[in-house]
């Protein structure tokens, strides 16, 4: 069994918790109140800023020119294309660009992005790849699960599902799975365990990101 398969199998209970979460269930059937989803859209914008930094650090630490090129491309596409698309998507919910830029990270967003950037900046490239995978794989699996059940009667929710269930995003997910299996071939037992821990930590943050949006999490003091 490929190492990526092993990790995904171990993360299956976390994925099931995400799929069963009322935020995701409501997104899928169109009954989700827009207030927590607007919160999610704003926090995801904040997340994308540091996600871009992770791609930049990945390009800097990539062992091969091919990997460097891919991470550089992902950085460019995220900063110059995906964030524009996110601004346009936010506008459909009445969220202005100014509101996005003024959004402060929630406790969960701050913790998640700090973890990703620290991993990318201070740890081996293999750990960075393991920490990146849950965002791609989790969204792809979630959207494909919802897509099979049928599009909701809510244009923006259906658009979210279509984007992350798309062939293009599935290809990106498969690339990350393949990359993880590529880099693990050079990893010893200690690094493999670190990769496993980074994957599971990121995946737990993925669950908490949904849950924080559902609760519209705020700092308590």
Long-range pairs, 55-62, Cβ under 8 A, ≥24: 57/117, 57/120, 57/121, 57/128, 58/120, 58/125, 58/128, 58/129, 58/132, 61/120, 61/124, 61/125, 61/128, 62/125
Q: Which of 8, 194, 206, 217 is catalytic?
A: 206
Q: Is 168 a catalytic residue?
A: no
Q: Is 176 a catalytic residue?
A: no
Q: Could you give the CA distance from residue 122 to residue 103 in angstroms, rounded to a whole number?
A: 27
| Tokens (6 digits) for 52 | 């871009």
* Total count of residues recorded for the chain: 221
Sign of the CA dihedral running 76, 42, 200, 136: negative
CB atoms within 10 A of CB 16: 11
Contact present, 84 and 143 (Cβ < 8 Å): no
Q: Which of 135, 176, 194, 217 is catalytic?
A: 135
- DSSP code of residue 78: I
Would you please indicate which residues are annotated as catalytic (active-site) residues? 135, 206
């Amino acid at each position: 069994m490929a190492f990526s398969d092993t990790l995904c199998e171990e993360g299956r209970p976390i994925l099931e918790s995400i799929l069963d979460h009322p935020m995701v269930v409501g997104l899928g059937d169109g009954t989700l109140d827009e207030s927590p989803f607007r919160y999610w859209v704003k926090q995801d914008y904040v997340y994308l800023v540091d996600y871009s930094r992770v791609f930049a650090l990945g390009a800097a630490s990539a062992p091969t020119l091919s990997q460097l090129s891919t991470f550089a491309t992902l950085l460019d596409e995220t900063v110059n294309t995906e964030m524009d698309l996110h601004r346009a998507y936010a506008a459909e919910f009445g969220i202005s660009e100014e509101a996005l830029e003024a959004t402060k990270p929630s406790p969960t967003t701050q913790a998640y992005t700090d973890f990703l950037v620290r991993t990318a900046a201070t740890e081996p490239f293999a750990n960075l790849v393991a920490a990146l995978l849950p965002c791609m794989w989790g969204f792809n699996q979630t959207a494909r699960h919802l897509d099979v059940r049928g599009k909701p009667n809510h244009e923006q929710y259906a658009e979210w599902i279509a984007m992350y269930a798309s062939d293009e995003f599935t290809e990106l997910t498969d690339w990350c799975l393949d990359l993880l299996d590529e880099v693990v071939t050079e990893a010893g037992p200690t690094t493999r365990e670190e990769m496993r821990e980074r994957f599971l930590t990121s995946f737990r943050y993925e669950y908490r990101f949904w849950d924080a949006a559902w609760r519209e999490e705020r700092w308590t003091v």
